[in-house]
Structure 1
Amino acid sequence: MRVHFIAIGGSAMHNLAIALHQKGYQITGSDDTIHDPSKSRLEAKGLLPESFGWFPDKINKDLDAIILGMHAKIDNPELIKAQELGLKIYSYPEFLYEQSKHKTRVVIGGSHGKTTITSMILHVLNYHDKEVDYMVGAQLDGFETMVHLTEENDFIVLEGDEYLSSPIDRRPKFHLYKPNIALLSGIAWDHINVFPTFENYIEQFQIFTDSLVNGGIMVYSEEDENVKKVVENSTNSIKRYPYSLPEHFIENGITYLNTVEGDLPLDVFGDHNLQNIAGAKWICQHMGVDEEDFYEAIMSFKGASKRLEKIAENDSTIIFKDFAHSPSKVKATTTAVKDQYRNKKLIACLELHTYSSLNADFLSEYKNTLNKADEAIVFYSPHAVKIKELDEVTEKQIADSFQREDLVIFINPIQFKEYLFKKNLKDSVLLLMSSGNYGGLDFEEVKKMVDS
């Protein structure tokens, strides 16, 4: 099968390209720019385009399928050529469904936790040598790619993103998978550029719940009122399995899970991660892993890449880097770190980087999210606001939104860096939360702060 990728350099797209290449498909692709790690990984497989740009000559009737990435625009010359030739054009999730429609599809959804829960499930299955197909949004230890597709595996585990499928398909990705087994971890308003109201955002999860196949299984957090309402009010003929925060305790900086197998030490911490474990356990049990085997495996789970990742540590200082950017994630992460390290000073830094977080109308959602930090710092780049074509955000708007009088705000990356590197981190935890890089912060330099 010959498949061409328009915008092959994306995190998800290049992983799918590699997965199909390993399956024996003939893969070509284009992009206007490709950065590492996508670039070097494509190059290693012989899939890197010879030159960057869009080349309509690459599109011909011999192609069996076009896969269109979100990075492409609707006036992309390769897309226009494919449409003129009447070629079959798939979005990323559409093609994944085509690859898995004869399998048992397990889809993990929710505003937060979906990458971690998917990673937990795959870690447990891998620990017990259970082969499954998968698509996850982070690189995992022990897994070569973020996408794995075969003809023979019975199950596929999919991270169910609610963002749009492609420039020409405005449906949320997770609407297209039609799960046999699903999970919803929580609903907290996000992607306001696509879902302008909270009611509109919730509706996407209602549609997802109703998209489960007849008789399917929905595992859901009963502690999230929005999730509980969506799942329990659905008229879809599905089986419902609620989960909640499991019993646990913290001792000497280690979180222990109370189980029938005894008190189990974990490598992850925080109420959100403990809830993630509870949800992952239900999913694994529905996939044939018993409780005892689940607990044995989960003790060695160290977390998903970029999710509360410990990047440096000495006897008195710990530095974490986390992908958190939405209000619910920021609050959960900040709370988790403070609860785990009660005897240390918590310095929490948040970069406002996404479309939602830089939108003046959305900023109020961040109220009290950094309250658990002993010192709270917010960085944002006016340049990023301009790129996203948003109205300028003022320091006063940020200060008013977070409702914290001692909030430190930076708009200049150099000044932020100077401030950060002058900090005395003795007996402290430094938490850096962002989906960006604070205007060019070198995290290798940050790691060295524990040596000073």
Structure 2
Amino acid sequence: MRIHFIAIGGSAMHNLALALHHKGYEISGSDDAIFEPSKGRLEAKGLLPGKMGWFPEKVDSKIDAVILGMHAKADNPELLKAQELNLKIYSYPEFLFEQSKYKTRVVIGGSHGKTTITSMILHVLQYHEKEVDYMVGAQLEGFDRMVHLTDHNDFIVLEGDEYLSSPIDRRPKFHLYEPNIALVSGIAWDHINVFPTFQNYLEQFQIFVDGIVKGGSITYNEEDAELANIVEVTENSIRKFPYRTPDYRVENDVTLLDTPEGEMPIEIFGKHNLNNLAGAKWICQQMGVDEADFYEAIASFKGASKRLEKIAESSETVVYKDFAHSPSKVGATTKAVRDQYPNRKLIACLELHTYSSLNAEFLKEYKGTLDAADEALVFYSPEAVKIKRLDEVTSEQISAAFENSRLQVFTNPATFKERLFNLDLSNSALLLMSSGNYGGLDFSEIKNLLD
């Protein structure tokens, strides 16, 4: 097949392009800007566009399908040409469904934890040499790509994002997968530019649960009251498997998980990650991995990339980087590090970077999320607020929203970096939370803090 990607440089899109190239498809693509690591990975396989920009002449009647990325606009010239030629146009999730409609689809959804749970499942399956197709939202140790597609594997494991499918398809991605086996980790209001009310956001998960294939199953975090209610009221004829956080304790900075065979040390930590582990265990069991084999494999799971990733350590200091940006993730991650290192000073740094986090009305959702830290630093860029065409947000508004007297707010990248590099890190844990880079911070320099 000949496939053309419009906006090939995205994290998800370039991985799908690489997966289809590996499968033997003829791939072409365009984008107006491509950054690392996408650029280097596409170039290594000969898939990097020769010039940046949109070129309608690349689109002709010999193309079997066009895959449209979310980064493109509805008036993209290549999209308009494809529509004029009546070519088959897929969104990213539509094409994944097309590739998996004869497989057993395992879909992991939720406002938080879905990447980690998907990663746990894939780690366990790889450990026991069980081959499956997959799509996951982070690069995993031991995996070449974030997307893997074959014609022969029986299962496909899909991370189910609730964000929109494409510029011309406003349905949430996870509505398109029609899972046979589904999991929802929890619901915390997000993407307020698309779902302006919490009720509207909840409805997307109701649609997801109602869309599970009849006779399939939903595995869900019963500690989330809103989620439990959605599962209880569904009229869909599916099996329901609740899970909750397992018993564990922390001793000498090591988390010990309670298992039927006794306590077992594990690499990950934090209540939210132990809750994720419980959900992953249920899914693996439904995929043919028994409980004992799950525990054997999960003991060596170190976490998904950018999810509580240890980036530096000395005898006195440990530094973690985390993708956390939504209120629920920020609160859970900060508390996880607090619980893991109860005898160390905790310094938590947060960048407000996304549309939701920079919205003045949404800021109140962050109340108390950094309270577990001994010292709290928040960075945001007023320029990013302007680019997103949001109302101005002030440092005073941010301080008031967090209701944290220890909070320090920074708007200048140089000033934030100066403060960061002058912190007293003796007997401390430093937590850097962001889906961005604090206005240009080179994370490789962090190790210099420990010298």
Does the TM-score normalized on the shorter chain lie above 0.5?
yes
Question: Structure 2 matches for 1:206-217, cutoff 5 A?
Answer: 206-217=206-217
C-alpha separation in 1, matches of 2:145 and 2:261: 33
- Structure 2: state its 5+ residue gaps: none
User: Per-residue CA shift, 1:23-58, capped at 9, x if unaligned?
Assistant: 111100000111110001001111111111100001
User: Per-residue CA shift, 1:99-145, capped at 9, x if unaligned?
Assistant: 00000000000000000000000000000000000000000011000
TM norm structure 1: 0.99
C-alpha separation in 2, matches of 1:250 and 1:133: 35
Residue type matched to 2:143 in 1? F
Matched, 1:195 2:195: yes
C-alpha separation in 2, matches of 1:296 and 1:164: 37
C-alpha separation in 2, matches of 1:225 and 1:429: 32
Question: What corresponds to 1:401 in structure 2?
Answer: 401
C-alpha separation in 1, matches of 2:26 and 2:237: 41
Question: What corresponds to 1:218 in structure 2?
Answer: 218
Question: Structure 2 matches for 1:108-257, cutoff 5 A?
Answer: 108-257=108-257
- Structure 1: state its 5+ residue gaps: none
Question: What corresponds to 1:86 in structure 2?
Answer: 86
Question: What corresponds to 2:71 in structure 1?
Answer: 71
C-alpha separation in 2, matches of 1:400 and 1:261: 48
C-alpha separation in 1, matches of 2:38 and 2:366: 33
Residue type matched to 1:91 in 2? S
Question: What corresponds to 1:431 in structure 2?
Answer: 431
Question: What corresponds to 1:14 in structure 2?
Answer: 14
C-alpha separation in 2, matches of 1:134 and 1:406: 43
C-alpha separation in 1, matches of 2:379 and 2:18: 36
Question: What corresponds to 1:359 in structure 2?
Answer: 359
User: Per-residue CA shift, 1:374-415, capped at 9, x if unaligned?
Assistant: 011111000110111111101111011001122111111111
Q: Helix, strand or coil: the match of 1:276?
A: helix
Q: Helix, strand or coil: the match of 1:90?
A: strand
Question: Structure 2 matches for 1:253-272, cutoff 5 A?
Answer: 253-272=253-272
Q: Helix, strand or coil: the match of 1:192?
A: coil
Question: What corresponds to 1:326 in structure 2?
Answer: 326
Question: What corresponds to 1:410 in structure 2?
Answer: 410
Q: Helix, strand or coil: the match of 1:447?
A: helix
Q: How many residues align?
A: 451
- Greater CA deviation, 195-204 or 229-238? 229-238
- Greater CA deviation, 406-415 or 164-173? 406-415
User: Per-residue CA shift, 1:227-272, capped at 9, x if unaligned?
Assistant: 1111111110000000001011111100011111221100000000
Residue type matched to 1:214 in 2? K
C-alpha separation in 1, matches of 2:351 and 2:376: 11
Residue type matched to 1:387 in 2? I
C-alpha separation in 1, matches of 2:417 and 2:314: 21
Matched, 1:287 2:287: yes
C-alpha separation in 2, matches of 1:248 and 1:113: 19
C-alpha separation in 2, matches of 1:182 and 1:447: 40
C-alpha separation in 2, matches of 1:435 and 1:226: 26
Question: What corresponds to 2:28 in structure 1?
Answer: 28
Question: What corresponds to 2:420 in structure 1?
Answer: 420
User: Which ranges of 4 or more aligned residues in structure 1 deviate by more than 4 Å?
Assistant: none
Post-superposition offset of 1:318: 0.4
C-alpha separation in 2, matches of 1:140 and 1:448: 26
Q: Helix, strand or coil: the match of 1:379?
A: strand
Residue type matched to 1:171 in 2? R
User: Per-residue CA shift, 1:71-126, capped at 9, x if unaligned?
Assistant: 00011000000011111100000000000000000000000000000000000000
Residue type matched to 1:259 in 2? T
TM norm structure 2: 1.00
C-alpha separation in 1, matches of 2:297 and 2:76: 46
Post-superposition offset of 1:424: 1.1
Residue type matched to 1:449 in 2? L
C-alpha separation in 2, matches of 1:67 and 1:158: 18
C-alpha separation in 2, matches of 1:146 and 1:420: 32
C-alpha separation in 2, matches of 1:71 and 1:160: 18
Post-superposition offset of 1:338: 0.2
User: Per-residue CA shift, 1:257-311, capped at 9, x if unaligned?
Assistant: 1111221100000000000000000000000000000000000000000001000
Q: Helix, strand or coil: the match of 1:437?
A: coil
C-alpha separation in 1, matches of 2:261 and 2:19: 38
Q: Helix, strand or coil: the match of 1:62?
A: coil
Q: Helix, strand or coil: the match of 2:150?
A: coil
